[in-house]
Structure formats: C-alpha cells, structure tokens
Amino acid sequence: MCSRTMENSELDTLRFNYKAAVERWIAAIRFEEDLATPDHSMIAVEEWEKANFSEEDARNMAKAARQEYQDALRQVLFNF
C-alpha cells in the first residue's frame, strides 16, 4: 500500500506539472492574441511574430508534460 501511495503522489505531481504547463500555454496564446492589434506597423508585426515563437515553446512543453503524465498513467494502470 505504501508504494501505491507513492505512485499516486508521483502521478499527482505529473498531473500538476501538466496542468501548469497548459496554463502557461494558454497565457502565451492570450499574449500573442493581444499583440494582434490594429497597429499594422513593422514593429508591431515583429513583436506579434516573436510571441508566436513563445507560444510554440509553451505548446511543446505542455505536450511533453502531457506525454510524461500519460506514460506514467499507462505504467501504473496497464504495466506498460
């Protein structure tokens, strides 16, 4: 039973990390969206494009955290 509690604790940590990564991704999307303004200057467009790179990084981190959590769940539930 002690090992199961430890497994649940580890799963909780992975789930927390996944949810936090998704929240960072959402924030990056909203930041990028906020930069899509009526100001059509080159500087505004460059800032908007830079925000897209940050959004991509946040997305990749969320997907990696999801995969890590999913792999751990499969290990615990299905032993693979």
Which tokens is 13 given?
């940590």
Which residues have C-beta within 8 Å of that of residue 17, sequence separation ≥ 6?
A: 65, 68, 69
Confirm whether 15 is domain-assigned.
Answer: no
Confidence of residue 69 (pLDDT cuts 50, 70, 90): very high
In a domain, 6, yes or no: no
Q: Classify residue 74: in a domain, yes or no.
A: yes
- What pTM, to 2 d.p., does this model score? 0.84
- Report the half-sphere exposure of 55 (CA within 13 A, side-chain side): 16
- The pLDDT tens digits for 4-28 are 555 899 999 999 999 999 999 999 9
Domain that holds residue 52: 25-80
Provide the number of structural domains found in the chain: 1
User: Has residue 2 been placed in a domain?
Assistant: no
Q: Measured between alpha carbons, how far is 21 from 28 in angstroms, rounded to an integer?
A: 11
Q: How confident is the model at residue 80 (pLDDT cuts 50, 70, 90)?
A: confident
Assigned domain for 39 exists: yes
Residue 41 lies in a domain: yes
Residue 16 included in any domain: no
